Structure 1
Amino acid sequence: MNQTLIGLCSAVCIASASLIGCGISPTTTSAVTPENQQAYFDRLRTEKVTSNPNIQWQNIGPGMSGYNEELWTHPTNPNVMFIGPDMHVSYGTWDGANSWHSLQDHDELGQLMKRVLDIEFSRQDPNYAMAIDWNGWVYESSNQGRNWQKTAELAGDHRDFGVDPYDPLAFKKGWYDEQIGKRLGDLAVDPNNDNIWYIGAGDFWNVKENHRSINKLGGDKLNYADYGYILKTSNKGKTWQKISKGLPSDLDVGKIIVNPTRSQHLLAATNKGLMQSTDGGMSWQFGAQGLPHNLPRDLTEHYDPVTGEYTLYLIEQTHYQAQGKSVSASGGIYTSTDQGKTWHNITGNLWLDLTQINYPAEHNRYYRTLANWFEISPKQARKKYSQLPKQILPVFNRIVVNPKNKQEIYVTYNKKHDRTFGPGEVWRTLDGGKHWTVVARHGKYWINNPDQDYWAKRNNPTHANVEFAHVQYEMDTHTEDQGNRLLSINSAGEVFISISQQTHKSSDQGKTWQQIDDFEVEKGSNIWIGRGGSDLPGRFMLLETGIPERRLMASGEHGVWQTEVVENLANKADVPMRQIEGQVNDKGMVSISTLAVHPHNPNIIYILAWRQYHSGKLRRSTDGGKTWQNIASVLEVSSKPSDSNVAGAKKIAKKIQGPKGMKPAQNSLLIDPNQPNNMFFVAELDAFSEIYRAPRREPTKGGYGFMKSTDGGYNWKVSNKGFHQDASLRRIILDPDNSNIIYAAAADKNGGLYKSVDQGESWQRMTIPANIKSVNNVFIDRNNKHMFISAGGFYDGKYEEGGAWRSTDNGKTWQQIFKAPVVLQVESSPVDANILLLTVGNQMRLDRQFLNPGLYLSQDGGQSWNKINNNLSNYDKIIDAKPDPYNPNVLWAAGWGSGWNVAYINKTKDSTWLPVKR
């Protein structure tokens, strides 16, 4: 047993205050709530309410599993690092990546620090740091990044310096919005004076959207970024000065460096070229002798405080030129020892001879690169430049140097998103650029070694040396098509990269790379415990699976996971998990929307996907997840938006239609326990909680709404008789006593609660409080038969239209038990009906009238509530949350982009998620 598992998931405690718990008297109508409870709900609308400090959420595996483009290391403490993944989360570690913890304030609106773009530390005070996020907001920390305070809003249309985010007037000021501000590109500090900081405008590092070509040498200008200026503060962020002297209006800043020997001298790598300032950033000029094009992709520095030697390193954008039936290239790696005035080429042997690389996948990537550069199709590029070059350069985009050794330099490229090519992921030199070696190698090419002689002549090792977690099989069998997203190095010389949604570290100059997202409980077990830094799209959780110790978790992009029982865990609160479908299988289903288990045979599992591999297919395993097969094509849709789409959809369809092949969101896959051949699910018309919210598309097979099979899932029909037009069905549930009765929640402007007494052949609208316009979820307690509905419009619902309601008489009368604009879900514990877990969503509106999204717990049947967001990322975007069906002390939650989480109501040192023995 790996003893390093001790205490992996301890949470970072934040400031706490007790909540008000107020009683509520039952009523038989949708009438008024008692005054004291109303006072509590008013507090939730108008002021920041602190989460119960006794309940801390623990992020469980798999770690990361989403794209992360940045990793920042502390300048002097190698154990302190930060990441800002793409799924609206941010994490820090203070123990060398043994555990990661959320950086967010868990008691606000979910906007702060949700996707960080840069973090920088003072060189005088190792505890002081600043950060910028993609809203154009600035933060500071005085405790080495454990807590952050927003200090300024610097970009975009909503600039309220010093505004109190919990001031109700902030709504009228437009302080919050789905796209609140505009992105800023880089943050820098004067190494000699931490009162002085600089920020560059732009979105330089967004390689997924920002592409360079022969006619767009500076890349794309993106609507959600600001351009054309640099900001400076001389009083540690109290005020900022906007500088534009000498700067182009469309300037995109990638890196600002302040000379440690002369603070008035600055360099900036930009989309327009390398720029210099000699007056502390107040004015700028172009200047870079020796660069063939003066289009830097990255810039870094090495400073020896003992000798005073200062060296700069730069990646020059690769340019391609036609040479008959082939192409030539220029660009590469450059260095300067005179503060950036002149530059010298150290590209060395980075050039590739593609005639010696016998790998079709790499040739395909090469022609895709040419197609992008020359702005033609890959087919045209292959025809026009049919002769492979003997000397060619990829497009490198990141560079770092070991702070202890200026001769040790690393460069990388992002083959997938920066549209380039090249064997391996990272190149390293130990002699200042004379000789370069591929040091990060994985996949079929390096495992099969087709060009061993070529690499032997270069003295380059050829064995695969990158370790992955659950994606190891996929990475060994695929063609290195994922790309490396980041490159960073800490004060100890450890190097960090991110390949295929995993984070890797090398402590031996790139000889080996270990993933640092998960712990494997035992070598070769494929059972993992996450370290707390998940960027996984968490989806539906099936907690009752016919096996009390097994929970099944659906994810976007990473398949199905099940909990595993591991004896003698050092920390019993940890949740070991194994992937049973997804990357562990050859072309497994990866974006799971919903799943179900056969009521009489727990080894039979059904899953549905809304995107990526097997989207729209019903997939089944009959051996507990060991093998899978598609048994039906359930949903197929046209690639074009529907004519009946919402207003303006055609105009914006190109922007929001999502990935190719995406199907409607599928929810609530259910199986009749009495007649298991009868199966049901709903296809949501206008989903608002998926990763991509695509416009409606015309179905070519299946359809939106309620779908039913009577032959075990092989054939399906749409059954919407009785629903209102354009009903967007979000959830369904079977009556626990009569499987002929089904309830459906319609989450749209004309939504409501529907009931069928003939297994969905026909539907009738139920009477619910008149103020409810959208029903997001319906749930029935199997023991006391209480019915709960969750209400509220996600985009345009009014405060009085939302909340949670309970009926104790089968829907005849209703009592409101919680007030909020958008309640997405409320469910009770199957082992203690007094335990209710409720989810409040963020409306993403200017007038949302509610300041406390997240999860709420009641342990007295809804008479009082506690907010419980501590250490919970994406608390404003919880997709699924429910009490454990076997252990009354356990809660589970799935985050939009933060994986799954577990919490213990009565936490002790022996807390465990396993069923309580009765």
Structure 2
Amino acid sequence: MKKPTLALACVVAAMVAACGGGSSPSGQAPQFSATLTTSGTASTTGTRWMNVKYGGSGYVPGLVFHPTSPNVLYARTDMGGSYRWDAATSSWIPITDGFGITEEFFNGAESIGLDPNDDKRVYLVTGMYDWAGPNGRLYISTDRGDNWTHVDLPFRVGSNDPGRAIGERLVVDPNQSSVLYYGSRTSGLWKSADYGQTWAQVTSLSTFQYASDQIPALPGRASGGIEGVLFDTPGTGSGSATQTIYTTVAPDYANAAGLAFNLYKSSDGGATWTGIATPVSGYHIPHMVRAKDGLIYMAFTRDMGPGAGGPGRLYKFDGANWTLLKSYDTQQWVNFGLGGLSVSGSGPTTRIALGVTNSWGNWQGQPIVQLSDDAGLTWREISSMTPHTPSEGDFSGWIDDVEIDPNNPERILHVFGGGVWETRNASAASPSWNLAVNGLEETATLALMTPPKGASYTLLRSSGDIGTHVQTELLKKPTRGPLGWFGNGFSADMAWSTPSYIAAIGSPVWNTPNVAGGYSSDSGVTWTAFAANHPDALANQGGESNIAVSKPGYIVWAPANSRPAYTTDNGASWTYTNLPALSAVGINRGYRVVADRKNPNKVYAYNSGGAWWNQWSDTAHFWTSTDGGHTFTESTSFVAAGALVADYGHSSVAVNPNAEGDLWVTDGFSILHSTDSGATWTRIAATAPVWGSNPTWMYPEVYGATSIALGKAPAGATYSSSIYIVGTINGVWGVHRSDDGGVNWRRINDDKHQYAGLGNLAADQSVPGRVFASAAGRGVVFSY
């Protein structure tokens, strides 16, 4: 994602949320059985899936072209899957949407490797964090990512760690495709001789590996490790392994491993290695590339990135001599580093594209992408001052990968914090650039909400990094919302009787330091900041915050780790409710507040308990207010009905918009239903967690029911709304739907559309069968 600390926070929250759960209820709860009707194909209405459009917005650390096959291009994201370019439609095709709920940790790719001799074979090295979780995985496809198998790797991987654009760390020997090398962050250099099936550390270079408990203590909890591998060979497919190999070593790993150099060379296929003195020592080498004439170009930069600071240097190396081609020194207000690097051609007309990082803004002469057409003798800027609109995002900052199309040197792409920019006339005096993000959706969605039928918009989406948006058309980028107000959008809701009234909350940004919430009276076209914030909002900026709107101007605001408060004057003043204050329990807690859609005087509050380890100190709680959210009364039957303790991210509450007091809760394990505003509850025995090897007093490998939403029912349905859940029924995880009040269920997604997990749900109130869901770093998807 665009900001490293936020991307880290978003995914860590998802990881830590895997610690939700609770023990079995001690009492016998009222329940009734449910059956599952499985849908084997996605051929009926409401079982096909596609993205709601936003376009980009997330960080793409790497682009990888096949060296010989035109238009074979891949993009890897740090936490939202990988993509293949489709030249026919000028769009990106997601290739990892089939990753399942247990593969969320592997949804970011630290490196992509392509076989120069087989343009259908592609490798992904995955694993979100080097400092946490299991070892990495190698995913292998022989059909350009349509299908995958995987191998568990003997080392850790950090696709969302600092320095995630360094590399590519995975390379395939162009002369013997069975040979792969991988430069790991904390475990040295590794080699496979059997297409990635087995791996061994290249101990001839170093045997050093950081211990697992040493990694979290590293600066930024990340090591540069072995940063790159380059085969020095002019040809492909000889059948004999390439003998001359270069590898780069990050300064931290060199120091820890006792390696005296940042660059090593092997002339015997990796059997032995010789250190090579570089003109800059103690710097990172984010990219090194070989031109057709055998010259090697190497970027040096002080910081690891993303958006690495300088000083930065670009050198040309002929195997013995170094030639300085470009230099950025750190001066008073200039801290430019180097990131992306690509070359095309050979000899004195070699084209070099160089990404200059940490150069924020948009001003004449700003270095973003520097281009040389004479092997580095002269340079010109080709990206700065390119016309663009604010909705397209800034194009500077994190220029950590730049690629010249090997089959069309006029086409150059570069990454940034919001996706990919592309030009196809690089030689022009002022090249034209366009966002190349069609089909690429990488947003971390924190909340979704749909309006009643008749509203002039379709969806409210609250997201990490990009704030809150009002979506009026599903296949067009949204242009409404409190744009520029929030870094993270936490929650948004509308007055059901007057859906043109919308309220939203989020985390302030530098230019709106005190704006944590506001409202719109015209369906999101214009916005007014609340005159005052909830008293605890600025001190409790967590994604566990949410709001409920009962009628225009009447709002209940529940920040994370706080006591909810209400306003009756559009946020001019706030008064605490009588709900108990919450505090964090190792992870944040928060109330989920929701307004009854038939009776605006009724507001409900659900506290899921916090985390599995909190089950011995607390229970889940459900509260009802009949005075618009001012005072609440707790349900005495909620826990007795079987409600368990869960974390915020694995629990949810929904109201039936067609019946007063008709409530549904998922507590991570089961579904609970009340038809009398929470006075009594019935546990629906439809879902069950998959515990796997985890003990039942802890948390399951796959939860039973984590999100619920109610939407427009089809004609002939026996219940007034269709019910959708994310959960596990008869051992099958996915999105399940019931049209008869939870008696019968059918899965409406298939194994090709699992998105490495699905979170928040919101169901359409106008179109039967349409439900929206937040995918794991893959934006918002919907059924149709």
Question: Which bracket does the TM-score occupy, shorter chain normalised?
Answer: 0.7 to 0.9
In the alignment, is residue 415 of structure 1 matched against residue 415 of structure 2? Answer: no
Q: 2:315 aligns with which of 315, 319, 334?
A: 334
Equivalents in 1 of 2:381, 2:289: separation in Å? 22
Equivalent residues in 2 for 1:203-602, closer than 5 Å? 226-227=186-187, 229-247=188-206, 249=208, 252-261=225-234, 263-271=242-250, 272=254, 273-288=262-277, 291-293=279-281, 295=283, 297-302=285-290, 304=292, 309-317=293-301, 332-337=313-318, 341-347=319-325, 365-366=333-334, 369=335, 394-402=336-344, 407-415=350-358, 423-441=366-384, 464-465=385-386, 467=388, 470-471=391-392, 475=394, 482-492=397-407, 493=409, 494-509=411-426, 511-518=430-437, 531-544=438-451, 547-551=454-458, 552-564=460-472, 575-581=475-481, 587-598=484-495, 602=499
CA 1:579 to 1:245, structure 2 compared with 1: closer, same or farther past 3 Å?
same
Alpha-carbon contact 2:83-2:92 (below 8 Å) kept = no
The one-letter code of the counterpart of 2:242 is S
Q: 1:669 aligns with which of 531, 542, 547?
A: 547
Alpha-carbon contact 1:487-1:495 (below 8 Å) kept = yes
CA 1:351 to 1:778, structure 2 compared with 1: closer, same or farther past 3 Å?
closer
Q: In the TM superposition, what is the alpha-carbon distance from 1:57 to its structure 2 partner?
A: 1.7
Equivalents in 2 of 1:242, 1:151: separation in Å? 16
In the alignment, is residue 826 of structure 1 matched against residue 687 of structure 2? Answer: no
Alpha-carbon contact 2:341-2:402 (below 8 Å) kept = yes
Measured against aligned partners, the alpha-carbon deviations of 1:386-427 in whole angstroms (never above 9, x if no partner) come to xxxxxxxx432331102588610011132079xxx9922111
Alpha-carbon contact 1:546-1:601 (below 8 Å) kept = no
Equivalents in 2 of 1:576, 1:763: separation in Å? 43
Partner in structure 1 of residue 112 of structure 2: 119
CA 1:888 to 1:277, structure 2 compared with 1: closer, same or farther past 3 Å?
same
Q: Which runs of 5+ in 2 are unaligned?
A: 1-26, 128-134, 210-223, 235-240, 255-261, 304-309, 610-614, 690-702, 715-719
Equivalents in 1 of 2:182, 2:125: separation in Å? 9
Q: Secondary structure at the match of 1:774?
A: coil
Q: In the TM superposition, what is the alpha-carbon distance from 1:439 to its structure 2 partner?
A: 1.5
Partner in structure 1 of residue 560 of structure 2: 684
Q: 1:868 aligns with which of 732, 741, 749?
A: 749
Q: In the TM superposition, what is the alpha-carbon distance from 1:60 to its structure 2 partner?
A: 2.1
Alpha-carbon contact 1:292-1:331 (below 8 Å) kept = no
CA 1:491 to 1:760, structure 2 compared with 1: closer, same or farther past 3 Å?
same
Q: In the TM superposition, what is the alpha-carbon distance from 1:186 to its structure 2 partner?
A: 0.9
CA 1:764 to 1:301, structure 2 compared with 1: closer, same or farther past 3 Å?
closer
Alpha-carbon contact 2:712-2:767 (below 8 Å) kept = no
Q: 1:768 aligns with which of 619, 624, 638?
A: 638
Name the Cα RMSD after superposition.
3.8
Equivalents in 2 of 1:768, 1:744: separation in Å? 12
Equivalents in 1 of 2:596, 2:140: separation in Å? 52
CA 1:62 to 1:808, structure 2 compared with 1: closer, same or farther past 3 Å?
same
Measured against aligned partners, the alpha-carbon deviations of 1:2-25 in whole angstroms (never above 9, x if no partner) come to xxxxxxxxxxxxxxxxxxxxxxxx
Q: Secondary structure at the match of 1:194?
A: coil
Alpha-carbon contact 1:291-1:343 (below 8 Å) kept = no
Residues 62-71 or 279-288, more deviating = 279-288
Partner in structure 2 of residue 628 of structure 1: 527
Q: In the TM superposition, what is the alpha-carbon distance from 1:149 to its structure 2 partner?
A: 1.4
CA 1:281 to 1:111, structure 2 compared with 1: closer, same or farther past 3 Å?
farther
Measured against aligned partners, the alpha-carbon deviations of 1:289-310 in whole angstroms (never above 9, x if no partner) come to x635385624433454xxxx42
The one-letter code of the counterpart of 1:343 is N
Equivalents in 2 of 1:605, 1:767: separation in Å? 33
CA 1:589 to 1:545, structure 2 compared with 1: closer, same or farther past 3 Å?
farther
Alpha-carbon contact 1:29-1:814 (below 8 Å) kept = no
Equivalents in 2 of 1:471, 1:901: separation in Å? 21
Alpha-carbon contact 1:110-1:874 (below 8 Å) kept = no
Partner in structure 2 of residue 195 of structure 1: 178
Equivalent residues in 2 for 1:685-834, closer than 5 Å? 685=561, 704-721=562-579, 728-748=589-609, 749=615, 750-758=619-627, 759-768=629-638, 770=640, 771-774=642-645, 776-784=651-659, 787-792=662-667, 802-808=669-675, 810-811=677-678, 812-816=680-684, 817-820=686-689, 821-832=703-714, 833=720
In the alignment, is residue 109 of structure 1 matched against residue 52 of structure 2? Answer: no
Equivalents in 1 of 2:677, 2:480: separation in Å? 39
CA 1:57 to 1:884, structure 2 compared with 1: closer, same or farther past 3 Å?
same
Q: In the TM superposition, what is the alpha-carbon distance from 1:263 to its structure 2 partner?
A: 0.7
The one-letter code of the counterpart of 1:765 is S
Q: In the TM superposition, what is the alpha-carbon distance from 1:276 to its structure 2 partner?
A: 0.7
CA 1:298 to 1:711, structure 2 compared with 1: closer, same or farther past 3 Å?
closer
May I ask how many residue pairs the two structures share in their alignment? Answer: 657
In the alignment, is residue 139 of structure 1 matched against residue 38 of structure 2? Answer: no
Equivalents in 2 of 1:500, 1:126: separation in Å? 28
Q: Secondary structure at the match of 2:486?
A: coil
CA 1:705 to 1:515, structure 2 compared with 1: closer, same or farther past 3 Å?
farther
Q: In the TM superposition, what is the alpha-carbon distance from 1:598 to its structure 2 partner?
A: 4.6
The one-letter code of the counterpart of 2:338 is F
Q: In the TM superposition, what is the alpha-carbon distance from 1:33 to its structure 2 partner?
A: 5.6
Q: In the TM superposition, what is the alpha-carbon distance from 1:187 to its structure 2 partner?
A: 0.6
Alpha-carbon contact 1:616-1:636 (below 8 Å) kept = no
Alpha-carbon contact 1:257-1:267 (below 8 Å) kept = yes
Alpha-carbon contact 1:30-1:815 (below 8 Å) kept = yes
The one-letter code of the counterpart of 1:238 is Q
Alpha-carbon contact 2:540-2:559 (below 8 Å) kept = no
Equivalents in 2 of 1:77, 1:154: separation in Å? 32
Q: In the TM superposition, what is the alpha-carbon distance from 1:76 to its structure 2 partner?
A: 2.6
CA 1:622 to 1:815, structure 2 compared with 1: closer, same or farther past 3 Å?
closer
Equivalent residues in 2 for 1:597-612, closer than 5 Å? 597-598=494-495, 602-612=499-509
Alpha-carbon contact 2:620-2:645 (below 8 Å) kept = yes
Equivalents in 2 of 1:604, 1:87: separation in Å? 34
Partner in structure 2 of residue 20 of structure 1: none
The one-letter code of the counterpart of 2:401 is L
Q: In the TM superposition, what is the alpha-carbon distance from 1:752 to its structure 2 partner?
A: 2.2
Q: In the TM superposition, what is the alpha-carbon distance from 1:131 to its structure 2 partner?
A: 1.9
Equivalents in 2 of 1:533, 1:283: separation in Å? 42
Q: Secondary structure at the match of 1:633?
A: coil
Alpha-carbon contact 1:102-1:871 (below 8 Å) kept = no
Equivalents in 2 of 1:720, 1:403: separation in Å? 71
Alpha-carbon contact 2:452-2:765 (below 8 Å) kept = no
In the alignment, is residue 902 of structure 1 matched against residue 760 of structure 2? Answer: no
Partner in structure 2 of residue 799 of structure 1: none
Partner in structure 1 of residue 48 of structure 2: 56
CA 1:239 to 1:678, structure 2 compared with 1: closer, same or farther past 3 Å?
closer
CA 1:154 to 1:864, structure 2 compared with 1: closer, same or farther past 3 Å?
same
Q: In the TM superposition, what is the alpha-carbon distance from 1:113 to its structure 2 partner?
A: 4.3
The one-letter code of the counterpart of 1:678 is Y
Q: Secondary structure at the match of 1:128?
A: strand
Q: TM-score normalized by structure 1? A: 0.65
